[in-house]
Amino acid sequence: MRARATPPAPFQSLGSRVSILHVVIVGLSMVMTIGAWSFSKKQIETRNLMRFETARNSVVELIHDGMRRYEDALWAGVSAMESHGGDMTLAQWRSFAQALRVDEKYPGINGIGVIHFVGQEALAGYLAQRRAERPEFVSFPDHDGPIRMPISFVEPESANAAAIGLDVAHEANRRTAALLSRETGRAQISGPITLVQDAASTPGFLFFAPYYAGPAPGTVRERREQIIGSVYAPFVVHKLMAGLLAKDRRDIHFSITDAGQMIYSELGTDEHRNDPEPMFAETVSMQLYGREWVVDIRTNLAFRTKNTYAQPWVILAGGLIIEVLIISMLLLMSRGNARAIAYAEKATLALREKTRKLNATNNELEQFAYAASHDLKTPIRGIGGLAEMLREDLADYLASPEANPEIAENLDHIDERVARMTDLTNSIMAFARVGTVIEAQKSLNLAEVISTLALDFGLQDDQLEFEGEIPLIEADPVGLRRILENLVGNAIKYHDGVKPLAVKVRARAKQDRLYFEVIDNGPGIEPRFHQRIFDVFQTLRRPNGPESTGIGLAIVKKLVEMHGGTITLKSNLGHGAAFYFDWPAKQDAVDISAALPEAA
């Protein structure tokens, strides 16, 4: 940077002279702090939403999976009935149910039994058959319907004795589901009911699977004529949910309604983990064996405890503290500049001497970024070392089944951020090292440079091509090689694989300038980002894309402009990118500080 002959107009705050550049730096730093806070907050919100969606999907899938397992048990009962010609004795059914091990294999189910479909004319024969096994058997309650559907067997009998003989045709929800199951030949659940064997009279339902006489019927008429009965299972909803989902081990609570009637709820205020203002809530509609269950899912206090928003606020607080430090540092540096200028004025030094002194001070400021980045390396390495020590100390725990997987993930995040910070500091140092003096160096053969790049990047002949016949490069060959490395490297790094990689480097000479084109067939860049990508710390990284410090193209632009050239980009999404820049054909060692923007 060069000092202007005329000092900038000072801000009178605190008696210091704060330049526009300093204000811009503080403003950009504040924008970056707010941006980091906003980004972190958004990331936390997205992570929490994903965790809620995972928990929500888990609840829905567990209900679906559990009901499918219960359905399998019913069809096993149907197979058992069909293997006995459509009829089993009480002893045979009891033996089957014991072999099925309902209590152990199907937690949440109240039992498994058989319902026979009996016409009024066959009722006396049916009752005689049942009373031959159980003399006290009666069918109840009495009704005038054309068909009876008494419960013949249900096991375990001790928990379901009150239901034996119950005619499910007497009540609309039971009857409707049983008949629908008969008509369709598929499993069906009933609307909400109260089981006679449930002393607490809580909501429940029945699950039916029909079986028929003879070959499998193919029409509704055949099913009505061949129906024998249904294998069924009674459910008390709160017992079902306790069997399917351990409430105390979940971070969400939910309720279920069927046809507007609440059949299960964990959302009461008496729940010790109930969150009166849940972080997330969603209503899910489940189509389940002929019924629609509406599930209202909400996060509880356990979810809130595990998913706080503290991290973004810590970032914001830390950023603001850094802002205060930066402002203080700038004020101190500005005050130092003001004192230097005042001293120079008092000493009546010539304008050239004053300019030299200000240039020296500003050069120190330019080296500050390099020194700061260099000094940051030690604590960054220390953080990486501490993470490695933690990983070694926790190796046995992380390998154990009881290990919390988030610990290993957090250590991986630390390693990732240490690597990114190392890359960033190295890039800042590289940017700061782009010198202000170009030294005369050996000439450069451009064709050999392209061949070397192909070898360095492991490319085939058809992946990196060179076109052009120009003389040897005499002006800053190291800088030109660095530019080509960055542009070709970016084309490789961001190639999306939709087409085979193809990069072309073209060069032509015109008078005392060389004109270059670096063209790739990658994903392209939207025109609105064409200027932004050359700014320091700017990157267009996509999700799951390669990491970037956002400094590479800033170095390219700085090198080109140091040599009196310009760099432009032509690109559209899906059509690759083409970078154009010019370079001097020959240049001896010169001081190029005059080519840099003037600043106080």
| Residue-wise pLDDT tens digits, 196-213 | 999 999 999 999 999 999
Quote the pLDDT of residue 593: 40
Average pLDDT over residues 576-588: 85
Contact (Cβ atoms closer than 8 angstroms) between residue 75 and residue 207: no
Which own/partner contact pairs does 367-376 have at CB distance under 8 Å and 24+ positions apart?
367/432, 369/428, 369/431, 369/432, 370/428, 370/429, 370/432, 370/433, 372/428, 373/425, 373/426, 373/428, 373/429, 373/432, 374/425, 374/429, 376/421, 376/425
Most confident region among 237-246, 389-398, 561-570 by mean pLDDT: 561-570
pLDDT at 5: 42
Rounded-to-integer distance, Cα 430 and Cα 439, Å: 17
- Minimum mean pLDDT among 278-287, 469-478, 486-495, 585-594: which range? 585-594
**pLDDT score at 572:** 87
Query: What local confidence, expressed as pLDDT, does residue 326 receive?
Result: 77
Q: Which of 13-22, 263-272, 475-484, 570-579 has the highest mean pLDDT?
A: 570-579
Instruction: Evaluate whether 357 touches 402 at the Cβ level (below 8 Å).
Output: no
What's the confidence (pLDDT) of residue 590? 43
pLDDT band at 215; cut points 50, 70, 90:
very high
H or E element in which residue 64 lies: helix 20-83
pLDDT at 181: 97
Q: State CA 456 to chain mean position distance.
A: 35
Q: Answer whether 519's CB lies under 8 Å from 504's CB.
A: yes
User: What DSSP letter does each residue of 77-125 carry, written as one string?
Assistant: HHHHHHHTTT---HHHHHHHHHHHTHHHHSTT---EEEEE-EEGGGHHH
- Rounded distance between C-alpha atoms, residue 524 and residue 575, angstroms: 5
Q: Bigger pLDDT: 552 or 80? A: 80
What pLDDT shows up at residue 594?
39
Torsion of CA 218, 220, 223, 225, to 10 degrees: -120
Rounded mean pLDDT, 52-72: 93
Q: Is the pLDDT of residue 568 over 80?
A: yes
pLDDT band at 282 (very low <50, low <70, confident <90, very high): very high
- Among the ranges given (155-169, 446-460, 581-595), the one the predictor scored with the smallest mean pLDDT: 581-595
In the predicted model, is pLDDT for residue 383 greater than 50? yes
Q: Which residue has the higher pLDDT, 14 or 438?
A: 438
| Alpha helices (H) in 121-269, listed in sequence order | 123-133, 157-160, 172-184, 220-226, 237-244
pLDDT at residue 153, rounded to an integer? 96
Does position 512 have pLDDT exceeding 60, yes or no? yes
Local confidence band at 291 (pLDDT 50, 70, 90 cut-offs) = very high
Largest CA distance in the chain: 128
Residue 491 to residue 84: CA distance in whole angstroms:
73
Whether 385 has a pLDDT exceeding 60, the answer reads: yes
587 or 209: which carries more pLDDT confidence? 209
Q: What is the pLDDT of residue 528?
A: 86
CA distance to 39, 54, 94, 299, 399, per residue, from 44 (Å):
9, 15, 55, 16, 28
Tell whether the model's pLDDT for residue 6 goes beyond 50: no
DSSP 2: B
pLDDT in tens, 95-127: 999 999 988 889 889 999 999 999 999 999 999
Torsion, Cα of 170, 175, 178, 183 (10° steps): 130
Q: Strand pairing partners for 451?
A: none
Structure confidence at residue 150 (pLDDT): 97
The rounded distance, in Å, linking the Cα atoms of 421 and 380 is 7
Least Cα distance to 503 among 512, 513, 515, 493 occurs for 493
Query: Is it true that the peptide bond before 135 is cis, omega within 30 degrees of 0?
Result: no
**Residue 468 burial (CB count, 10 A):** 16
Confidence at 16, pLDDT banded by 50, 70, 90: very low
287 pLDDT more than 90: yes
**Closest Cα to residue 363, out of 599, 577, 64?**
599
> Which pLDDT does position 384 carry in this prediction?
66
269 vs 183, residue with greater confidence: 183
Asked if 484 contacts 473 with a C-beta cutoff of 8 angstroms, the reply is no
| Structure tokens belonging to residue 596 | 């840099």
- pLDDT class of 373 with cuts at 50, 70, 90: low
Q: What is the mean pLDDT of residues 387-400?
A: 78
Cα–Cα–Cα angle for 282, 286, 291, rounded to 5 degrees: 140
Of 144-153, 446-455, 583-592, which gets the smallest average pLDDT?
583-592
Q: How many CB atoms lie within 10 A of CB 69?
A: 15
Range scoring the smallest mean pLDDT among 263-277, 283-297, 401-415, 484-498: 401-415
Nearest residue to 498 via CA among 518, 520, 479: 520
Question: Percent of the chain at pLDDT above 70?
Answer: 80
What whole-number percentage of the chain has pLDDT above 90?
42
Per-residue pLDDT reduced to its tens digit, 86-99: 999 999 999 999 99
- 442: pLDDT strictly greater than 60: yes
The whole-chain average pLDDT of the chain stands at: 82
Whether the predicted pLDDT of 549 surpasses 70 = no
Q: What's residue 187's pLDDT?
A: 97
The CA radius of gyration of the chain, in Å to the nearest whole number, is 40
Question: 273 or 326: which carries more pLDDT confidence?
Answer: 273
More confident residue, 423 or 301: 301
- Domains of the chain are 84-243 (3.30.450.350), 246-305 (no CATH), 437-595 (3.30.565.10)
Q: What is the pLDDT of residue 511?
A: 84
Identify the residue with better confidence: 588 or 599.
Answer: 588
Give pLDDT, residue 14: 43
